[in-house]
Amino acid sequence: MTDLDPEDTAAMRRENGGKDFRLYLRQQITNGRARKTAPPPAPPPKPPGYQPGAWPAGTRPPDPPPTRHTEADWQLALDHYRNGLGHDNDPCHCGSCPPATKGTS
């Protein structure tokens, strides 16, 4: 039983001159303080040979992924886009765009 109904509260107040109700409330305060002051759980032990740091000793972060397009390729594609090219009459030659088909616009 975790919830008190108004009838339960009234019955505790009637029994033993309200002593049961006072004991119940005091126990609720004690339980709340015990939950509040419980020590935090101990952290798990470190694995054998553990050394603090982001990467294990003798290693480094991975290299950034290689790009297959040079800066000039990007600039050419940007100029191509800005000039409104890349339509069916002048397909893009970047290698990433789908091939143009005739008769679509």
Average pLDDT, the chain: 78
CA distance 27 to 14: 18
More confident residue, 99 or 25: 25
First to last CA, the chain: 73
Task: Report the SS3 class of residue 74.
Answer: helix
What the block records as the tokens of 62 is 């991975």
pLDDT of residue 105: 46
Residue with tokens 């709340």: 32
15-28 average pLDDT score = 87
* pLDDT tens digits, 87-103: 555 556 666 666 655 55
More confident residue, 83 or 86: 83
5-28 average pLDDT score = 86
pTM over 0.75: no
- Report the share of the chain in percent with pLDDT over 90: 7
- The one-letter amino acid code at 27 reads Q
CA distance 35 to 39: 9
